[in-house]
Every structure is written in structure tokens, then in C-alpha cells.
Amino acid sequence: MSIWNDSNPNETIPTIEPRWTPIATQSPLPPPPPAPPTPPASSGAQGSGAERPRRRGLGVVALALVSAVSALGGAAIGVLATREGDDMVTSGTVVTAPETEGENVNEASTAIGKIALAVAPSVVTLTANTESQFGEGESVGTGVIINSNGEILTNAHVVEGADTVQVRLMNETEPRRGTVLAADPQNDLALVKINATGLTAAVFADSKKVRLGDPVVAIGYALNLDGGPSVTSGIVSALGRTITTESGALDRLIQTDAAISSGNSGGPLVNDKAQVIGINTAVARSDMGTAANNIGFAISTEEVLRVITTLRDQANGVERKQGFLGVGLTDRSDGGQGAVIANVENDSPASKAGVKEGDVILAINGVPITGRTGMIALVRDAQPGDTIKIKLERGGKTINVSATLVERDTSND
């Protein structure tokens, strides 16, 4: 049984299956050598997990974060929505693609085509020049314009190691210089800024209205193909998924069977109203005979909107404090759901709340804990000073306790 305790953040986490890896297009770098993963610093509640998504598929079931090179073509069709303001992310507004007539190649006769054309002005290509121990390389992915003054959201793994990126907008042949304002690798999101005004911002859906089985469309620059973005369709296959990476856990993910490929990283997953319901981040790959078909993941707008706020704070010099609970975690071995407390640090928030070794954590703040990765992510996303409500099982009885998080000491990281 392997345990990760937040008092030792530099401890190596053993890899378990399934293993999730990114598939960002990179050139000319060779594949990086295997390296021990780095656990998320802000959790305060950790367990062993799979490696951080990488840019090349590894393992039995590899989850690929999706990035690639391509161009966006087609006519600019404005999104018909009321924007809230340049410093805000538009959310909850129904978007209707304009009706089209005739055989114009830039028009669409199907519902999916109209959705794609309505969202297209808000989708961009990003190219990042990165550096590593092998030298210089290039990573390319997709981004989403989130306000008219040039803020763009993408995946952190697309711009990893880069201070500036090249951004190409719809109907433009020349890229614009973009600055990476802030990045959150643990949540795999980054904020990029270009010098522009009057851009068409994407509209974000209310995450509470996303339902299992809803139709969705994924848009992005798959496989660095020439021409415009790839558009694929599917449904919401599952909600509230959590996966483990070598930087931590991605939680509250939307699972979809819409085809997502290398190059889709940072692109939008949209509903039938042309609203963004998630940011595409990863897919499952099949290796060594293990079945993994049509399993893709997008970071839900619930997480996206929260992280955008922290990214803007980070860009303005506000340091992100990391919460600390003071426990070690492991998964249940009896097939049940929940995270098992492997140890509790003395005088920690957990010990003061009465959490004991062997307790099974069932929920935090009303959110069910399906495994240790879910608990890792929930505690990580909380702030020092936050009081979290913990539902646990002990000796066959359900107990509710509260713990006030403190700031984790990162001086030894």
C-alpha cells in the first residue's frame, strides 16, 4: 500500500494504472526520460497517483492532453450574445448562430456546423517555443478568447516553460505575440494576453445545467492538419470525473465520447447553444491491449471560472496560498468509494477536527469522494482559513466534522 503525506511534498509518488499523459505536439525535442512526478503543493491531503500528463503517450492506458499546430479558416460569424464586460468572463448567455441560406462554403446547413461557426471567432491557435534539457522545442495547441480585450485561456501544458507565445486569430495569416500572464499546472490552465480589442469572447455555460447525455461539440486544431479547426461531436459521457497526474489531480472533469486528438489542448467543448461547457485537456489511449476508446476529458466551467480568478490574481502579483489538512491518504481496497486516512499529523487541522487513522472520507463540503484523487483536488482547491465540512465513516457509523485549513509550509519544497 502506498501513501502520500502532505508533510513531505517532495516524496516520489509511485505510478499506478491507469496513467494519464498529454499529447501536445512538440518538435524537435525527443521524448523526455521518465522522471518521478511532483505532487501538488497545495493539497494538504494527498495519495499516490499516476504520472503528470506528458506530451507523448505512455503506459497501459494513457490520457493525452491534447495540443497541435493548425490554422483557423472560414468566415467570421459573430456570436449573438450580450457581453458582461471586458474584465469578466461571459457566462450563462444563450448563443444562437445566424441562419444561413444558399450554398456559400462559409455557411453551415447542419446544427453542428452552425454551432462550430458561431464559436469559431473565439478559438485561436497558440504556438509556444519551449526549453528543456534537450534544447529548444515547439508546442502548439488551441486557445479560447475569454474577453474582448485579448485574454485567452489554454492548457498549462501547452505553454509550459514559455514566457511568450504566438497566437493566430481567425481569418488572420500572421500570428500575434502573446504573453503568458499566469499558469496553474495542477489545474492545467493558463492565461495568455495579446494586445487587441474588440475580439469575440466565448460564452461559458452554467455548469449546473450540464447533464449526462447532453450533445456536445469539440473544436480544436487536431494533429496539426492544414486548414481550419477540426469539429467533432458526441455526448456528455460522465460528470465529476477525477484523474491523477504527476502534478496533482484534475477534478470535476466532463467525460465525453467526442473525438479529441493531439492539438485539441485548450480548445472548447461546447453545448448545442454554442456555449463552452469545458476546456478540452486529455484523452485516454489504448496500449498493450488495454481497451480505451472514445474517452476524452474537459475541465468543466465550474473549475475554469474559479481558476481564471486565481490566474488573474497571480498575474497581478497575488501569491496563491496553499491549504494544509495534515493527513496521508490511500484508496480503499475493498471496492468501496471514499478515501482512507492512512495517518494524521499531530496538531494539524485534521487532528483538531477529530479525524483518525482508518477513517473513510465519504464527502467534503457535500461533494462525494469517490477516491483519494477527488479528496486531493478538493482540499488543494480550498484556501488557508477555509473551513471544510467532512463526512466520514468510522466503525460502521457516519460522522460529520469540520476542519479549518492552515497554510502549508512550502519552505522545504
Of 67, 73, 88, nearest in space to 120 by CA: 73
Beta bridge partners of 149: none
Cis peptide before 98 (omega within 30 of 0): no
Q: Where are the alpha helices (DSSP H) in 153-300?
A: none
Phi, psi (degrees; rounded to nearest 5) at 407: -80, 130
Cell 477516491 belongs to residue: 371
Helices and strands (H and E) in the chain: how many: 4, 26
First to last CA, the chain: 24
Query: In the numeric block, which cell numbers belong to residue 159?
Result: 505553454
| Encoded amino acid at 332, one letter | R
Of 246, 251, 258, nearest in space to 296 by CA: 258
The per-residue DSSP string of 22-66 comes to: -EEEEESPPPPPP------TT-SEE---PPPP-SS--SSEEEEPE
| Encoded amino acid at 320, one letter | R
Q: How far apart are CA 301 and CA 303, in angstroms?
A: 5
Phi, psi (degrees; rounded to nearest 5) at 251: -125, 170
Query: In the numeric block, which cell numbers belong to residue 204?
Result: 461559458
Q: How far apart are CA 387 and CA 390, in angstroms?
A: 10
Question: Which are the catalytic amino acids?
Answer: 157, 188, 265
182 by Cβ neighbours in 10 Å (0-12 / 13-18 / 19+) ranks as: buried
Residue 412: partners with Cβ closer than 8 Å, 6 or more residues away:
9, 10
